[in-house]
Amino acid sequence: MAVKNPMTSCRIGLGYDIHRTKLPANGGAASVVLGGIEITAPFSLDGHSDADVLLHAITDAILGALADHDIGHYFPPGDEKNRNRKSADFLVFALGRMRSAGYEIANLDCNLICEQPKIAPVRHQLRGAVADLLGVSIDRVSIKGRTNEKLDAAGRGEAIICQAIVLLNEIR
């Protein structure tokens, strides 16, 4: 009788995204969307969809783990269907691809790199929102905020950068 491999097969994926900041045209209040949550900020983020840099990086990490193209392949920025679209749609799509391939999320770790908005006060809320979207418990989701020491685009407030790494376990 064949001995079943006791090790679950797993796959790792890396996601990266950057969005430019833009000042509100009327000089009024502005906000960014992170993890599907609107957060007050001195600027908003430029992008064809809702510019959710966090969900885009996570989506790309999942697709990357599956070696399944990338977010731009499935949702081209020039496609009118994607204008102002909620980025949760992109993530739900990637999760569907993941489940059909027979995998589930083991854990996720993200870096949000920006001077503003401050991530620490909303960190728990962001983790909860992402865990809900992924359908996993919050202890599987890490989101860390850090500045770029005022260096480069993220440090000058010209962009927000997100890195995400995800581990998928084969569903047994």
Select from 11, 13, 17, 122 the one that contacts Zn ion (CB under 5 A).
17
Question: Cβ of residue 75: shortest distance to Zn ion, in angstroms?
Answer: 10
With b for 16 or more beta-carbon neighbours within 10 A and e for fewer, the 78-92 pattern comes to eeeebeebebbbbbe
C-beta closer to Zn ion: residue 75 or 103: 75
Does the protein bind Zn ion through residue 11 (CB under 5 A)?
no
Per CB under 5 A, the segment of 15-23, 94-102, 108-116, 160-168 that binds Zn ion is: 15-23
Distance CA 92, CA 39 (A): 22
C-beta closer to Zn ion: residue 77 or 102: 77
Peptide bond into 42 cis (omega under 30): no
C-beta closer to Zn ion: residue 11 or 56: 56
151's CB contacts (< 8 A; 6+ apart) are none
Contacts (CB under 5 A) with Zn ion, residues 18-57: 56
- Per the DSSP assignment, residues forming a β-bridge with 37 are 34
Question: Cβ of residue 87: shortest distance to Zn ion, in angstroms?
Answer: 8
CA dist 118 → 32, 34, 41, 45 (Å): 12, 12, 9, 15
Question: Cβ of residue 162: shortest distance to Zn ion, in angstroms?
Answer: 8
Residue numbers of the site for Zn ion (CB under 5 A)? 17, 56
